[in-house]
Amino acid sequence: MADEQQIREKYMKLRPVMTERSRRLWAATEAQALGRGGISAVSRATGISRNTIMRGSKELESPETLAPERIRRPGGGRKPTSVIDPTLMQDLDALIDPMTRGDPESPLPSNSVAVDMQEPPQSGGGTRAQGTPSQPYARGGPAA
């Protein structure tokens, strides 16, 4: 129990400056230092999931390491909508084109209807959207 209290105190001091990766690796090293039952003790003391601590142990033992600036392996996350649906830009142009004003040669057309107020076409064009993926395009391009 004294070990858990010490671990909890160390964790609370380090927690504000640790990233997800450093937290995982720190918890794994603490668990390994305690030996048998270390994963459970560190989990109880910190509230970090046992699975996260075990994943940290595997990372410590693995010869494959991440670049120092990375927290997770590359490739995760949702793909951009423009990659999933290559016709997205044409669909958005067709949706916005009847409502644009100003110089047609301008790289950023002025829209007379707020992005939030634009209704999707009723033809069921096949482009499904979650949230408002058209906002960055309506403002001149996707967010980088």
Amino acid 71 reads: I
- Over residues 58-84, the pLDDT tens digits come to 988 887 777 777 777 777 778 888 788
Using CA atoms, how far apart are residues 112 and 98, in angstroms rounded to an integer?
10
Quick one: 10 and 56 in the same domain? yes
Quick one: 46 and 91 in the same domain? no
**Domain limits at 105?**
79-114
Residue 144 lies in a domain: no
- Over residues 31-56, the pLDDT tens digits come to 999 999 999 999 999 999 999 999 99
CA triple 116-117-123, angle to 5 deg: 110
Taking the model in full, what pTM does it have?
Answer: 0.52
Asked if the model's pLDDT at residue 11 lies above 90, the reply is yes
More confidently predicted of 44 and 92: 44
